[in-house]
Amino acid sequence: MSNATHEPSPLSGQATVADKVIEDINERVSMGLSKYGTKLMTFNGRNALVDLYQELIDATMYVKQLLMEEEADGR
């Protein structure tokens, strides 16, 4: 799949993505609270930009993995 592939306009779907994202966020907050004993706070001693950059690299790798697997499967 080329990154220049044209995507058609979306059709009517089956599930609301935003609702699932909100559910996932709430689960992630609960997991963080359980793991770290606090919700994510400002001025926590970490560089949020570095954290974000590293997470985006991870996400990009996962997306490319999926695209490569779909291409290999002929999708």
3-state secondary structure 23-61: HHHHHHHHHHHHHHCCCCCCCCCCCHHHHHHHHHHHHHH
Domain of 55, in residue numbers? 17-72
pTM: 0.67
Q: Into how many domains does the chain fold? A: 1
Please give the pLDDT value at position 4. 76
Stretches in the chain below the pLDDT threshold 50: none
In a domain? residue 48: yes
DSSP symbol at 14: S
Please give the pLDDT value at position 75. 83
In a domain? residue 2: no
In a domain? residue 22: yes
Q: Which of 6, 26, 10 is CA-nearest to residue 18?
A: 26
Angle, alpha carbons 53-70-1 (nearest 5°) = 70
In a domain? residue 56: yes
In a domain? residue 65: yes
Please answer whether residues 24 and 34 qualify as being in contact, where contact means their C-beta atoms are separated by less than 8 angstroms.
Answer: no
